[in-house]
Amino acid sequence: MRVSRARFEEAVKAAIDAVPEPFQSYLEEVEFVVAERSGKGLFGRYEGAGALAPGGFPARITIYQRAHEDACDSWEALVEEVRRTILHEIGHHFHMAEEELPY
């Protein structure tokens, strides 16, 4: 399935906005970026020192549109997969290891 960049960004924004309020303040310095593809088949990528590290560079979460489109066959499935990816990458922001992440 394919959607416009603007439509995909709607799904990303909805997922970010749905993060519970107690965690929102930790995301104020996180830059969320949408990219076409990763070249490695990734759904998302976290770069940064994390929410618990003092100072450092601002964090960035990149969400790869094409990987999500290729994996989903409906708008509803794409929205859910974007939500899962956002939560996964935010987990890294809180220093969670891959095996600790719910998705």
> Band of the pLDDT at 54, cuts 50, 70, 90?
low
pLDDT digits (tens, 9 = 90+) for 56-68: 678 999 999 999 9
pLDDT for 48? 87
Q: Provide the percentage of residues in the chain whose pLDDT is more than 90.
A: 68
List, as one string, the DSSP characters of 41-69.
--SEEEESS-TTSSS-SPPEEEEEHHHHH
Per-residue tokens: 89: 């990458």
pTM confidence score: 0.90
**CA-CA distance, 87 to 60, in Å (whole number)?**
14
pLDDT at 25 over 90: no
- Between these two residues, 39 and 62, which has the higher pLDDT value? 62
CA-closest candidate to residue 93, choices 17, 12, 38, 26 = 26
Would you give the distance in Å from CA 47 to the centre of its chain? 11
Q: Domains in the chain and their CATH numbers?
A: 5-100 (3.30.2010.20)
